[in-house]
Amino acid sequence: MAATTARESISLTELGERSIPTVPQEPNHDSSSVTEAKAPYLKLIASGFSFFVAGVNDGSLGSLLPYVLESYHVSTGLVIVVYVTTLVGWLVAALTNSTLCQYLGLGAMLALGAALQVLAHVLRAWLPPFPLYAITFFLASLGQAFNDTHADTYVAAVKAAHRWLGFIHAMYMAGCLVGPLVATAVASANQQSQWNLFYVFPLGLGLINLILVLIAFRDSMSVHQSSGPHSDDPQASSHDARSTRAVREIKDTLRVPAVWLTSLYFFFFLGAAITAGGWIVEYLVRVRHGDVHQMGYIPTGFYGGSFLGRLVLAEPTYRLGERRMIFIYAALCAGLELVFWLVPNIGVEAMAICLLGFFSGPFFATGISVASKIFPANIRSSGIAFVFVLGQIGGSLFPVLTGIISSHTGVKALQPMLLALLCATGISWLLVPKAPRLRAD
């Protein structure tokens, strides 16, 4: 899901001539790309592909989970360690992002994130011991945090950002759609499953992602080591100044109520989306007694619906009123979740999951678009980063809670958890301050 999923602080290159104030706390991201005359389509494509890679990673876990449990001989209670390490990765990103951005340019941050994801897939492909397998999720989530959150903030600043945000987040769902298909095909190919070989696929994609980032963002692949001109110890002075800027940036961001309210919305939404994607297969196998080889494809309906929703619903959501439409979608999703819960028919449940994905499709891109309008210019980048990271923390925390509860009551606990999260998503959306565009609607 990942993420399911708030991540960044960067210089804002623009598509066309839209004027976005730069963030003075992040001089390293104010590269020459700001003055680009041509539309930076290669950067937008690279940003979208980074989300596709993240989607393949996040979307595949649900289909692989039954094989992971069997191969490592662990219970659902123990497998939540995977989600815990993912949560830790996002927490580390939240704590280190602003400081790293004082030293690394936009391209360098993106490349660091892409490289960490490649390392994670290298370690997974040879079926490592379970503790190391769990640690790879820390590396992957940390890499996604640096890669995708900075790509997200970059795209949020371009002209017609709502369309491009819809594109890159549709790419994430396209990855979530492809991930379960490939994972299930590989895992069920032989009588003795070699599910770990699936990770060769995201490894190849990760290498392409790294190359794309290095080419598209080569103008900001800088590591800043400039020193203060009025200090007896220039290196120490420069380090202290950057640390001070990072701390001040974090404090300024956390003082803005809109940041916390928007983060709450993402916290619940990503919690619902990633919990659903991660536990649907196990629920259908354990509770509905479906065949694991067939149930592994069910998440593709959820992710496929979300992929279409992010493409098809982006424009009508924007034109009809983002605030109004997202709340309507949330109500529809809650109703579809009730169908999934109360109708004991796998075919009906599969359709409900597909439609739930479709109507939840615009949630993420619309939230980022609104955040870019309501956050003050001086904390816009760091604010969106905080929102992204806190949202992904929700996307890691709620699957863990679902696993803990399931270890005591069974996987049937998934349903009330999903319903509560979807209702909380709709309510928290109403708490997000109105953007100027929303008032006009």
**Residue of 278, 280, 296 lying closest to 398 (CA atoms):** 278
Q: What CATH number does residue 365 fall under?
A: 1.20.1250.20
Two tokens at 199?
A: 């990770």
Q: Is residue 286 part of a domain?
A: yes
Among 103-107, 293-297, 364-368, the least confident range: 293-297
Structure confidence at residue 231 (pLDDT): 40
Full domain range(s) for residue 401 = 27-222+234-440
Residue 39 has pLDDT above 60, yes or no: no
- Assess if residue 3 is contained within a domain: no
**Number of structural domains found in the chain:** 1
Give the pLDDT of residue 240: 60
- pLDDT band for 94, please (50, 70, 90 cuts): confident
pTM as predicted: 0.74
Residue 227 forms part of a structural domain: no
19, part of any domain: no
Q: What is the mean pLDDT of residues 396-407?
A: 85
In whole angstroms, how large is the CA radius of gyration of the chain? Answer: 21
235: confidence class by pLDDT, cuts 50, 70, 90: low
295 inside domain:
yes
Residue 294 belongs to a domain: yes
Does 45 have pLDDT greater than 60? yes
Residue 265 belongs to a domain? yes
Residue 229 belongs to some domain of the structure: no
- pLDDT higher for 36 or 424? 424
Q: Which range is most confident: 95-99, 332-336, 388-392?
A: 332-336
The mean pLDDT value of the chain amounts to 82
Strand partners, 104: 223
Q: Is the pLDDT of residue 116 over 80?
A: yes
